Amino acid sequence: MALSGSKPVLGLTTYLQQAQTGVWDVRASFLPAIYIDGVNLAGGIASLLPPQPVDAEIAARVLDGLDGLIITGGRDVDPAGYGQQPHAATDEPVADNRQRDAFEFALVDGAIRRGMPVLGICRGAQVLNVALGGTLHQHLPDVIGHTHHQQGNAVFATSAVRTVPGTRLAALIGESSDAQCYHHQAIDRLGDGLIVSAQDSDGVIEAVEIPGQNFVLAVQWHPEERLDDLRLFAAVVEAATAYATGKVNA
């Protein structure tokens, strides 16, 4: 719990998959450091949240130590979570992927219930949507006819996104922004309580949020790839600071 005047602690979810470092090739939980940089540069403290077996009580204990939650990028959500069979292009829903899904669904549910600030990034937007009962387009090229959103080989594409007037996102970043994208899936049917807060020229949903006082916002792009623009990280850190202050004063 952050005390008045201290930095808030934001939990960031992590990958869980086979990874190589030096002579080691092991199953590992990890996250690109650029996410941590975004939180630190915006004035927050980053705490990594490795996927693990979870239930509502475990999720609550994890959230007790946080002031905000960031659901990060990564592999595709298991389509079984929104009632579909996997597309040929969808990442195989192996056990580690399903464990990460379950862990993040539980954290999102618990965070929203307690009014904790939530920021979703890329996969995080999809996790938020599915956690709230929505569905995904499993392969955007089938929908829009091109692969601009994910060109492959770890090359991020720049997409112009336009915000919806009156939304929290519009207040944060203005009418439009150039976004760094790397996704072949996107939100289809909205989850309960969510509204669209940005789209691109193809009509792809690029951001969603829950209206109201509590900060629940998710973008389909990667703001951590543009740390010269910290507005989204700064916004969730500011919301986490206010949340922490409310816990102290409760």
| Marked catalytic residue, from 122, 149, 181, 183 | 122
Which is the catalytic residue, given 137, 183, 184, 222?
222
Cα separation, 78 vs 76, in Å, equals 6
Burial of 95 (0-12, 13-18, 19+ CB in 10 A): exposed
* Residue in this structure with the two tokens 């919806």, named with its chain if needed: 164
DSSP annotation string for 120-164: EETHHHHHHHHHTT--EES-HHHHHS--TT--STTPPEEEEEEEP
Q: How many other CB atoms are found less than 10 A from the CB of residue 239?
A: 24
Active site residue 122: yes
Distance CA 186, CA 67 (A): 28
Q: Is 222 a catalytic residue?
A: yes
Note if 206 is an active site residue.
no
Beta strands in 31-133 (DSSP E): 45-49, 68-71, 118-121
Cα 119 from Cα 125, distance rounded (Å): 8
Pair 164, 115: CB distance under 8 Å: no
3-class state of residue 211 by DSSP? coil
Please state whether beta strands 195-200 and 157-163 pair in parallel, antiparallel, or not at all (unpaired): antiparallel
Of 104, 206, 209, 224, catalytic: 224
Provide the annotated active-site residues: 122, 222, 224
